[in-house]
Amino acid sequence: MSHLRIESLSKVYVDEYRGENVVALDDISFTIEQGEFVSILGPSGCGKTTILNIVAGFIEPSGGRILLGDKPIGGPGPDRGVVFQSFALFPWKTILGNVRFGPKMAKRSRSEQDRVAREFIELVGLTGFEDRYPHELSGGMQQRVGVARVLANDPQLMLMDEPFASVDAQTRMKLQEDLIKVWEERHPTIMLITHDIEEAVFLSDRVIVLTSHPGRLNRDMRIDLPRPRQWANLVRDTRFSEITHEIMGLIMQGSGNADAEQEQEAVGEASP
């Protein structure tokens, strides 16, 4: 049984201004296995984040169903953790307090809360910053805290919504490599939403490509690049280049010129 199973998913919004229905997602089906890292790509407006919000339980689908393990998803829950683009840390809590929040809500003992929080703070390379507040950290460090906070909850599924989009290119590359190290050590099941083709290929076991609006499944592509991965090696790898350009071609199919230009820029965003 697949860890996450999405079956015939659809989402229709009502455009109140125009008084008509807008189909955001249409009959999408795919699975994610335990411990897999899967990214979702597609043109702007294809419904990438809508899929994440449905899987997270923030919004309801119009059709289809989603199973995590053997249980249908019917709303938010601690079995799914979300890493947002905007960091979403508690500004009044220290780094230790932020990461300890999940174990505290799970009613673990104070000593267990501290043990778990410090373990994941160390995992993301922030030992020594436990007593700092979010405003005292760089954007990249804050996002590491976001990753640690989700992992400390021990979720069945980690959802990442363009988590590195708000940091500069060099920081983004470092965070991608850090995330790879965390994934290789703990193998959490991850679904990443991104507009960056190179990021998706660098991080993922599989990349799911959606069509332009309405979002439909275009291609489910396995990334046959060896692990562990580092940017210094992959930027010279011809297979890496072949995969990114193949995905670019898929995204450009059926996209408008503006979408194609935007995605073309994304191909080189992570290059040194």
At 22-35, the pLDDT tens digits run 889 999 999 999 99
Domains of the chain: 1-79+157-166+183-226+242-272 (3.40.50.300), 86-154 (no CATH)
Contact 235, 271 (CB under 8 A): yes
**Percent of the chain residues topping a pLDDT of 90:** 68
CB distance 46 to 260 below 8 Å: no
pLDDT-derived band at 265, boundaries 50, 70, 90 = very low
CA distance 43 to 252: 8
Q: Is the pLDDT of residue 269 over 50?
A: no
For residue 268, pLDDT beyond 90: no
Backbone φ, ψ for residue 74 (5° rounding)? -125, 10
pLDDT above 80 (res 47): yes
Buried b (16+ CB within 10 A) or exposed e, 174-212: bbbbbbbebbeeeebbbbbbbbbbbbbbbbbbbbbbbbb
**DSSP state, 215?**
B
CB neighbourhood size of 84 (10 A): 16
Pick from 49-58, 83-92, 254-263: least confident: 254-263
Q: What is the pLDDT of residues 191-250, one digit of tens each?
A: 999 999 999 999 999 999 999 888 999 999 999 999 989 999 888 899 999 999 999 999
Q: Is 247 in contact with 264 (CB distance < 8 Å)?
A: no
Q: 255 falls in which pLDDT band (50, 70, 90)?
A: low
- Model pLDDT for residues 129-174, shown as the tens digit of each residue: 999 999 999 999 999 999 999 999 999 999 999 998 888 888 899 9
pLDDT at 1: 60
Average pLDDT over every residue of 174-196: 93
CA 47, 52, 58 angle in degrees (round to 5)?
110
Element (DSSP H or E) covering residue 21 = strand 20-32
User: What's the pLDDT at 256?
Assistant: 52
How far is the C-alpha of 151 from the C-alpha of 155, rounded, in Å?
A: 7
- How many whole angstroms separate alpha carbon 75 and alpha carbon 72? 9
Length of the chain: 272
Chain mean pLDDT for the chain? 88
Q: What is the CA radius of gyration of the chain?
A: 19
